[in-house]
Amino acid sequence: MSGPESVLVVEEVVKRFGDVTALDHVSLQVAPGEFVALLGQNGAGKTTLFQLLSGLFVADSGTIHIYGHDIGRDPVPALAGLGIVFQQPTLDLDISVRANLRFHGGLHGLSARVQDERLAEVMQTLGLTDIAGRKVRELSGGNRRRVELARALMHRPRILLMDEPTVGLDPASRRDLLEHVLGLRGTGVGVLWATHLIDEAENADRVVVLHKGKVLREGAPATLIAETGAGNLAAAFMALTEAKGVAA
């Protein structure tokens, strides 16, 4: 069971697809206000883990607790505490930014008054106020991602999942999105940010290195660098993954 100090606890989770073990006894935790980078190459198991965390798949064994609720036994309150930005865009392109956010708020049972309050809050925080009435189809990739982040925050989740959220963004938009999410640490929201890009993990509170479905190591970036004797996080990541017989 997770304690009150953790917004997300994954314990010994296993997921297989036929003969392929996508996740092999994976364990990790995220505390309130903590930014944890889940770092791994394509095929490491990051997306599979996020599919389990978001209730799309069920683990073969192990447990997942979101703010103390077991997602397998008590999925409704567990998922209510979750905000997620998937790797693939999921916005309705033909309605406005405001309408997308209102629809999400309605799905979470927010009253019209609360929706108005949350809309103003997230749009101000993410700099979306001036484009609230525009159709999503008219927006740049970076602004669409900011809308998806705003939508994920509308119901004030305890844990925010970001699944390779900068894929396809230009460098400036990628940096902007990362800075917005890093800034959430002061609000108490825990963040699990999945990425294969080393620089996105460098400012994390902790890095969890996932490789071929297994957690190889976790710790602060400086700790991983020191433990591997590497000069930087990229070299530390390569040392850990190459030790398993496959270069990063």
| 151 in any annotated domain | yes
Q: Indicate if 182 and 63 belong to the same structural domain.
A: yes
Q: Please say if the pLDDT value at position 4 is more than 60.
A: no
Query: Could you read off the pLDDT of 143-193 as tens digits, one per residue?
Result: 999 999 999 999 999 999 999 999 889 999 999 999 999 999 889 999 999
Average predicted confidence (pLDDT) for the chain:
92
| 6 in any annotated domain | yes
Query: Could you read off the pLDDT of 207-230 as tens digits, one per residue?
Result: 999 999 999 999 999 999 999 999
**How far from 247 is each of 56, 58, 191, 193, 238, CA to CA, in Å?**
31, 30, 28, 22, 7
Q: How many separate domains does the chain show?
A: 2
Q: Indicate if 163 and 212 belong to the same structural domain.
A: yes
Both tokens of 138, joined, read 């008219």
- Which of 156, 172, 190 marks a domain boundary? 156
Q: Indicate if 138 and 185 belong to the same structural domain.
A: no
What pLDDT shows up at residue 248?
37
Nearest to 237 by CA among 245, 217, 220: 217
